Chain A
Amino acid sequence: MSGRVIVITSGKGGVGKTTTNANIGTALARAGKKVVMIDTDLGLRNLDLLLGLENRIVYTIVDVVEERCKLKQALVKDKKNPNLCLLAAAQTRDKTAVTEEQLKDICETLKKDFDFILVDCPAGIEQGFQNAVAGASEAIVVTTPEMSAVRDADRIIGLLEAKEEIKSYKLLLNRVRPNLIQSNDMMSVDDVVEILSAELIGIIPEDTGIITSTNKGEPIVNDEKSLAGKAYNNVARRIIGEDVPFLDLDEPKGVMAKVKKFFSGIMGKEK
């Protein structure tokens, strides 16, 4: 088996790298793939919290690198899905504790046993980013429809294109709010794609359920009803190679929304 190593990066912080990682990883594992997630955000780890695995971490990636344990011992199995593993970052160390070469080696070893290796990248373009990208051959660039995030994503794509190892990169647009786009208060999906001229792999709507799921330590893809969960599931299916159409986010839901749309239409005509 030779797994695919995908790095999930963004440049800007707070756009949802870690959430994306946790959800895509869980979705892929639910689809029957063997998945391992590597948290490379040393000193500011969060992936374990999102997966609710914080209490199970005994060894971290730094322990593996410094040979205090075997790689297999450091892999934390998910509570629900045996196909899903986490290699946690050390909380008490910083980015210099791991080098690019060491991460490359870890990825190479894990490739033999797993279908997908998802690397969670820290924010920024310094050593942490260089480490995370080192072992990867594919990248997912997460961004939100905001100027600052798009600008940082552009910078990241430039850096990724300069790397020979990265064979392909895809764009994931997070926290999209269709109602703001409709009222021209937010950049539209097309705007972002045009600026970055990158292939889109998913559009995730803003969802308050994400906050609850983060606090619970339960990825939102496990919630069948949630729109964001569905969107993340679709991203996972596209990664596997299925052709899945993008969710139609513009459709107003519920009677109230339809009535509102109807009235706003009339008001618009009157003006």
Chain B
Amino acid sequence: MDKGYIENGFIVDVSNASKTSEIIYELSRILDLPDAQSKKVCLKLGSVDLTPTELTSIKALVESMNSEIEFISTSSKSTIKSAEELEIKVSILENKVPLPEFNADQEKVNKELEKALDKIFGEEGSDIQTFAQDENLKNLKNDYSKEEIEEIANIKPETITPENQMETFDSSEFKASTKEVEQPEISQNLENELNDFNSELESANKIDGEEIEEIDFNLDDLRKSLRETEKLPTLYIQRTLRSGQSITSEGNIVIIGDVNPGSEVIAKGDITVWGVLGGIAHAGSAGNQYARIRALKMNAIQLRIADVFARRPDSINIPYIQKTDTFIPEEACVRRKQIIIHKMHES
């Protein structure tokens, strides 16, 4: 296992749930996704009190989906007791280095998270459509740069879901690094039960923690970068890029059409694809880490922004899946030396 990288696993956040039934409902919806099956699950439970019986049924639910619970995190003492009885590992996941914006309005962020999860896991397609339409309207406004700044500032690591999570790796050594920017703190009574998994996660995050100080994004820099990106020339292409074709630009690139697997788009500025992005996209190729890649459907084999790389998870690495009816515009940008993808919606 590579450092701090939850191999074949992901974190499920059901801390907003106030009842056991809600947890089970949420969990079964998330676990039912094809990408979520046969994986390790780290469960965030929040403050709900769970009896051993209830916890057993949650465990059985996870196991029925061929997944297993790696560990849970909870703030309820009775849940910790129940977990001890069932020999489930407990740890407290906390964001040690939150962006200032997160602290200012925690409740708002939670609501957004809920909204984001609803949109991602919502079963009704109509929901997604309205949100896409709203987005189109908003894009017509002139003062989008300010909106975009807010939008970026409000992204929380948890909004990365298994669906759009990319495995990132170092540009120099291609080593997988942390997926989640979360700092685990092991609860006192379980300190002696520290296993490899947790210690590795911790040590990897420490390294990350040091770096974050320097690279954490700066609003002034971001604004400056947005202005500069606006001034760059933009290459406008109205056709589909096919395998083997490559487009390089000193400025921004806008493609009205698909970018098929096997093709590549390299730009010093931003890349916008009005279609399915299935190939390789490299934005900010001269080193601008504020560059962004947008697509109606993000299915890229690799994303590169400045010197940060991310590749498509192997679980969805099936060459022929690329066309769908539902288009959810997504945007990739760099946060803490990792590429994250988020839906293009307003907070």
B327 to chain A, nearest CB (A): 22
B10 sits at the interface (CB 8 A):
no
A54 touches B309 (CB 8 A): no
A124 to chain B, nearest CB (A): 17
B320 touches A58 (CB 8 A): no
B166 — nearest CB in chain A belongs to which residue? A55
Residues of A within 8 A of B319 (CB): 49, 54, 215, 217
A68 sits at the interface (CB 8 A):
no
A91 touches B318 (CB 8 A): no
Q: How far is the CA of A92 from the CA of B244 in the complex (A)?
A: 4
A92 touches B246 (CB 8 A): yes
> If A55-B301, A55-B311 touch, does A217 touch B243 (CB 8 Å cutoff)?
no
B174 touches A92 (CB 8 A): no
B317 touches A92 (CB 8 A): no
B312 sits at the interface (CB 8 A):
yes
Q: How far is the CA of A58 from the CA of B314 in the complex (A)?
A: 16
A216 sits at the interface (CB 8 A):
yes
B319 — nearest CB in chain A belongs to which residue? A49
B138 to chain A, nearest CB (A): 32
A217 touches B318 (CB 8 A): yes
Residues of B within 8 A of A92 (CB): 244-246, 263-264
Identify B309's interface contact among A45, A58, A215, CB under 8 A. A58
A265 to chain B, nearest CB (A): 43
Residues of B within 8 A of A43 (CB): 244
A261 sits at the interface (CB 8 A):
no
A42 — nearest CB in chain B belongs to which residue? B244
A55 touches B317 (CB 8 A): yes
A92 — nearest CB in chain B belongs to which residue? B246
A55 touches B174 (CB 8 A): no
Residues of A within 8 A of B261 (CB): 54
A44 — nearest CB in chain B belongs to which residue? B244
B261 — nearest CB in chain A belongs to which residue? A54
Does more than half of chain A's interface fall in helix, strand or loop, or is it mixed?
Answer: loop
B258 to chain A, nearest CB (A): 16
Residues of A within 8 A of B318 (CB): 215-217
The 0/1 profile, CB within 8 Å of A marked 1, for residues 297-339 of chain B is 0000110000001011010011110000000000000000000
The 0/1 profile, CB within 8 Å of B marked 1, for residues 26-59 of chain A is 0000000000000000011100010010111110
Residues of A within 8 A of B320 (CB): 215
B81 to chain A, nearest CB (A): 40
B243 touches A91 (CB 8 A): yes
B264 touches A54 (CB 8 A): no
> If A79-B314, A92-B264, A215-B319 touch, does A56 touch B174 (CB 8 Å cutoff)?
yes
A54 touches B244 (CB 8 A): no
B302 — nearest CB in chain A belongs to which residue? A55
A269 to chain B, nearest CB (A): 49
Q: How far is the CA of A271 from the CA of B190 in the complex (A)?
A: 82
Residues of A within 8 A of B243 (CB): 91
Residues of B within 8 A of A52 (CB): 314, 317
Q: How far is the CA of A147 from the CA of B130 in the complex (A)?
A: 59
B262 sits at the interface (CB 8 A):
yes
A58 touches B317 (CB 8 A): no
B311 touches A56 (CB 8 A): yes
Q: Enumerate A49-92 residues with CB–CB distance to B below 8 Å.
A: 49, 52, 54-58, 79, 91-92
Residues of A within 8 A of B245 (CB): 92
A55-B302, A91-B244 known, 16 other contacts, Cβ within 8 Å? A45-B262, A52-B317, A54-B317, A54-B319, A56-B174, A58-B174, A58-B302, A58-B309, A79-B314, A91-B243, A91-B264, A92-B245, A92-B246, A92-B263, A215-B319, A217-B319
29 A-B Cβ contacts within 8 A? Answer: A43-B244, A44-B244, A45-B262, A52-B314, A54-B301, A54-B319, A55-B302, A55-B312, A55-B314, A55-B317, A56-B174, A56-B311, A57-B302, A58-B174, A58-B302, A58-B309, A91-B243, A91-B262, A91-B263, A92-B244, A92-B245, A92-B246, A92-B263, A215-B318, A215-B319, A215-B320, A216-B318, A217-B318, A217-B319
The 3 closest A-B pairs by CB, nearest first: A92-B246, A55-B311, A55-B312
